[in-house]
Structure 1
Amino acid sequence: MKRIVKVTKSIAMMVVAGALMLACSQALQTSYDYDSSVNLKQFKTFNVEPESKNEQDPLLGSELNKRRLKDAVVEVMQAKGYKLDNNPEIMVRFMTDVKERQQVRSNNMYSPYMWWYGGGNNISTYNYQESRFILNIYQKNSDRMIWQGWASGKVKAPTKKDDRETMVKNTMADILRTFPEATLDTYSRK
């Protein structure tokens, strides 16, 4: 009896651990790139707009999500010490897109007992959509890109309105995490 309880607990722990690993693997992956010849800490003012050069995804790039993205970027940049300005030093432009992806899984089932149980190579494919949120930061006077950050992965639709805004804000904060804060020596009050 004790052995059955012990085995049941072990199986339950493996199921919980597997579920946690699966939940963690669904998170968006973030990364960034920048122009190393530009001192990113010299800027103090910014403005935000959608990227006009690329076509937005109809769902992620909807008017509602554009407002959410803009509000989230403004909030995160202001929390970093930057001032929203109509004549900014840097322009933050955002875009979204969705790519069709396919994952191929192979399960090699060959064994020494293949003649008894059967066996072979079981191949399956899984189609999914990968979403990307991209922030491009341009130096206003030259319109030259100086920093780019992005998050990509599978996005689950949140269930409540507040969850959508929270998800967008957290995603923008994750993307901008590596962008430097405005320093006190470059910060000026108007």
Structure 2
Amino acid sequence: MKNIVKLTKSALVAVVAGILFMACSQALQVSYDHDTSVNLKQFKTFKVESERTMEEDPLLGSELNRRRLGDAVVEVMQAKGYTLDQNNPEIIVRFMTDVKDRQQVRSNNMYSPYMWWYGGGNNISTYNYQESRFILNIYQKSTEKMIWQGWASGKVKAPTKKDDRDAMIKNTMADILRTFPQATLDTYSRK
């Protein structure tokens, strides 16, 4: 009997921890696109800067967040094996953020044989929210063409501490760059 109680408590703790983890995690959708004619594995050096046409969002586009974004991209790219080269990079990673006002419309059809009695019908409700986007554009320096783009979008809950902000931004950049290939030693060219 003690084992069953102990097992039940352990399971309950695991379920509560899982629910808390899911409640605290960011609900960002990550996607990417790339130029299939370019071998992304041929590049070794990079440079990071903010996108030239970046909107000036007062919160996400602040100087503090620009530094956080730049530092996070540098850290993730270096972890992938790329070398930071401010003078002669092979690729330029440009980042930008923006916030869009969104609206979700929900409809709850409550039709039943007894709706005349209960007053059922079609209930419509709207929910207004802001959707944030983090966008990384990677350009080949020699051609100035975009060769890869990744983005994360969704509702971002503001972190409470500075460390949480840094970790959230770093994790978001790592999620976006997850599909960008690791730097390799070979520089073969393939189409």
| TM-score, L = length of structure 2 | 0.84
Q: 1:69-89: per-residue Cα shift (whole Å, max 9, x none)?
A: 000000000000000002100
CA distance in 2, matches of 1:103, 1:134: 23
Counterpart amino acid of residue 35 in structure 1: D
How far apart are residue 156 of structure 1 and its match? 0.5
Q: Percent identity?
A: 85
Do 2:140 and 2:146's aligned partners in 1 also have CA atoms closer than 8 Å? yes
Shift of 1:23: 3.4
Q: Is the 8 A contact 2:54 2:97 kept in 1?
A: no
RMSD: 2.0
Between the aligned partners of 1:24 and 1:165, the Cα distance in structure 2 is 15
CA drift of 1:26 comes to: 5.4
Ranges in structure 1 where 5+ consecutive residues have no aligned partner:
1-15
**In structure 2, distance between residues paired with 1:105 and 1:72:** 37
**Residue 46 of structure 1 aligns with which residue?**
46
- Residue 107 and residue 26 in structure 1: after superposition, are their counterparts in 2 closer, same or farther (change >3 A)? farther
1:4-57 per-residue CA deviation (whole Å, 9 max, x = no partner) reads: xxxxxxxxxxxx7xx67x838951000000000000000000000000123232
1:49/1:26 CA distance change after superposition, 3 Å:
closer
Structure 2 gaps of 5+ residues are: 1-15
Q: Distance in 2 between matches of 1:108 and 1:183?
A: 56
Pairing 1:1-190 to 2, within 5 Å after superposition: 23=23, 27-86=27-86, 87-186=88-187
Count of residue pairs brought into register by the alignment: 170
Paired with 1:26 and 1:110, the residues of 2 have a C-alpha distance of: 36
